[in-house]
Amino acid sequence: MAAAFAPVAVAAAAHVVPAATWLPRLRTVCCPRLAGLGRSDHVALTFDDGPDPASTPHFLDSLDRLAVRATFFVLGESAARHPDLTREIAARGHEIAVHGWVHTRPWLPDPARDLRETARAVRVVRDVTGAAPTWYRPPYGILTGGRWAAARRLGLRPVLWTAWGRDWTADATPASVRACVAADLRGGGTILLHDSDRAAAPGCWRAALGALPGLVAACRDAGWQTGPLGEHGTGPGRPRRRTTETRPPAHREAADRSALEST
């Protein structure tokens, strides 16, 4: 009987053990790149669960006013449903990354499903934006063996976070989001926020939106630049360094918007 159940036990372990990286202390100590630890003078700003036409444009406008670029982990289904908004995120200078196809918990191991759905999301991002994504963050931050294998096969780099705002709850406020992020914020860290309430309490995205100016100001006061993961030093090769956090030149923004309107 033990021999009969051995393959099941092995499959279950392969599915569950990597998901232990959801524990913040474990991944920070054992898997710093997965945790999103980068160069000490930089903080990566990331958003999950979009694009959402009801909320994402507000974040794009706020980030423009703050002269900050970020990484948006999009759901493939939403990107396919809102291709113009997905293109606009990229046109405004932000990174588009993969958050899976739909926002589900992987209770049972199914590596074939994980590969199929992740590949589908990658294909949508590439087709809509014209660029292949680099980063992958699984829904709920649960990186199972199947999801990890799918990301590796598709050339994606998994990354989670070091600080989050708990901005998905019904009682979240800008002040609570700022306080929650501040508790774990440090140079080299990665912040997780949400630009959509698709998998959260209705309207909770407003708390994250209201917290943004204060979070960016806190980073600048500490001497940290704020930007996307591509400038964070967690990826392959040498990170792209920025000496200032300025918005794209006006002529380039105009060209980007013209190209967007013509699509």
Host H or E run for residue 10 = helix 2-16
From the CB of residue 163, how many other CB atoms can be counted at a distance below 10 Å? Answer: 20
Q: Which of 216, 235, 214, 211 is nearest to 227 (CA)?
A: 216
Q: Which residues pair with residue 97 across a beta bridge? A: 73
Q: In Å, how far from its chain's centre is CA 111?
A: 22
Q: Which residue has the tokens 């913040």?
A: 24
Annotated catalytic sites, by residue? Answer: 48, 194
Q: Which of 45, 33, 103 is nearest to 70 (CA)?
A: 45
Measure the CA–CA gap between 196 and 82, rounded to whole angstroms: 13
